[in-house]
Amino acid sequence: MSKALDELLELLDIEEIDENIFRGQNEQTRWGRLFGGQVAAQSLVAAGRTVEDRAPHSLHAYFLRPGDPAVPIVFTVDRIRDGSSFTTRRVVAQQRGKAIFNASVSFHKFEEGFEHSDEMPEAPNPDDLPTWQERARQAGDKVPKQARKWLEAERAIDQRSTSGLAIFGDHEGQGSSLIWMKTNGKLSDDPFIHQCLLTYASDMSLLENMIHRHVKGFSFGSVMMASLDHALWFHAPFRMDEWVLYAQDSPAAGGGRGYARGSVYADGKRVASVAQEGLMRPIPKPAKASAAEGGASGKPARDAENEAH
């Protein structure tokens, strides 16, 4: 198991500090704000700690405020309903007494029933595709200096895109993508940890699909982007330590927001579905006047995102 995966699993092993109340630590490798997939995955863990003998089948969540990586997150679980077949939990994630994220998670007792699935799209063998780190090194000066260390670091999730990636400035401009994913190490056989890791990984690249149709390549600071909500449905068992294919597209955008959706396939079968709406607001280019003349300046994307809500 890679060190990065080991650290991610530790983050997901949140601490129970009281009945229905948990505390989670944060990744420290991001640019001054929390990664939404981390908060979503930890919220799923918190909900799961209050449920027995059934697995999650859906998660519906809203990102309310930017999170601070320096502050632990407190997760409060509300036991909405315990039915004979379904169990519902509401999770609120807070920092400094303010909600930054809330989610509704539904659990279902296993039942036999009808089954069907879309066919998995054709895609190149993942072993023949460059790793994330290889793409980052190939990007060279297209990637800002302050981002290179993070982009080239070891990752818990091995992602291999079948086309270019906007973050590296080499995407071809279409509004869809195919990305192979698996963990950088073997996992336990507990299906729940595989679901939590897919929840984490499902937020990694959806936003990119929204901007592909409008910006060729990607200029850091040129667009204000932030996840607004996230929905995830689990259809069938899968393993995140084996390759899964994440097919994504963005069929619509408007009003400063974009919509993206994703389908996750394993062994040729669709095992999960994802949907997300995100803020997608162009940042005006700075005026050429000097600072001494009082010229306007565009905000970097990461600072502007903090004002998104």
User: Tens digit of pLDDT for each residue in 107-134?
Assistant: 999 999 999 999 999 999 999 998 877 7
User: 0.85 cut: is pTM over it?
Assistant: yes
Residue where the block lists tokens 């530790």: 10
Could you give the CA distance from residue 1 to residue 86 in angstroms, rounded to a whole number? 35
| 139: region left, alpha or beta (phi > 0 left; psi from -120 to 50 alpha) | alpha
Phi, psi of 86 (to 5 degrees): -120, 145
Between residues 132 and 140, which one has the greater pLDDT? 132
pLDDT higher than 90, residue 141: no
Q: How far is CA 53 from the centre of its chain?
A: 27
User: Tens digit of pLDDT for each residue in 167-218?
Assistant: 655 555 566 789 999 999 999 999 999 999 999 999 988 888 888 777 665 5
Could you list the active site residues?
203, 227, 276
In degrees, rounded to 5, the angle at the alpha carbon of residue 284 between the alpha carbons of residues 278 and 289 is 155
User: Tens digit of pLDDT for each residue in 74-83?
Assistant: 999 999 999 9
Res. 291 pLDDT band, cuts 50 70 90? very low
Upper half-sphere CA count for residue 83 (Cβ side, 13 Å): 11
Could you give the CA distance from residue 177 to residue 207 in angstroms, rounded to a whole number? 11
pLDDT at 214: 77
Taken in order of first residue, the domains within the chain and their CATH numbers are: 3-111+119-284+295-305 (2.40.160.210)
